[in-house]
Amino acid sequence: MKPYVALIALLSFFSGGCATKKEADKKAESEAKDTSIAKLPEPKPGEAVATFAAGCFWCIEEEFELLKGVRDAVSGYAGGPGGQPTYEEVGSGSTGHAESVQVYYDPRVIPYDTLAKAFLMAHDPTTLNRQGPDRGTQYRSMAFYRTPAEKASLEAAIARFNASGEYTDPVVTQVVPFKAFYPAEVYHQGYYRAHPDDFYIMSVSMPKVEKFKKHLADKLKPEGAVNQ
């Protein structure tokens, strides 16, 4: 990342908090966009599904799609009651949902234990209701388990993460049973790659993705093989 971009991101963080994401949202609103709800893919034979919330889904979707064994990652909403919410409703913090990503993967290539580790490395799981400049319960850290084995795997991954000293503070991730996942609007899907010049993507998302790639270098797909 270029130094001037990092400096701008730092100044934005201290001067306005989530202003960067709000500006990106305004830009998206001004462009022609498909606000219809994305369709969830059907799991292929032998595939499994996992769901995580780790802050802005634009970045988290990209991070999971970099991993070998992951066929697709879908941005959406989870953790709240009721039916399908809109992005604006979730962004208000009033629905109880968190921006989330649903991952379709081959457990023979990437086991759930590795996904749990990747989830913790994909964001800062020690900050409550916040990820970087983004603040609010819609950005909280959550891991949704579907089986007792997944719950145990998540709890073990968190224990290892806390013991690693990666962060001074302990993990605050909510480990909860999976209930429902609602896909986000079409224009959010693949947003990271579709908007590489977006200020939020450059200043907030790209540094997170680069850090993720360094920590999980041996788990990444070959360059150019994402979503192939």
| Count of Cβ atoms closer than 10 Å to residue 113 Cβ | 17
Return the bridge partners of 49, or none. Answer: 104
Catalytic residue among 9, 18, 28, 56: 56
Residues in CB range of 131: below 8 A, 6 or more apart? 54, 55, 56, 123, 124, 139, 141
CB neighbourhood size of 19 (10 A): 13
**CA–CA gap between residue 194 and residue 190 (Å, rounded):** 6
Please calculate the CA angle 70-78-22 and round it to the nearest 5 degrees.
95
Phi and psi dihedrals of 101, rounded to 5? -135, 135
Helix axes 206-215 and 112-121, enclosed angle (nearest 10): 140
Radius of gyration of the chain (CA): 17
**CA–CA dist 51, 77 (Å, integer):** 10
Active site residue 56: yes
* Closest by CA position to 129, among listed 119, 137, 117, 121: 137
CA distance 32 to 44: 32
Active site residues: 56
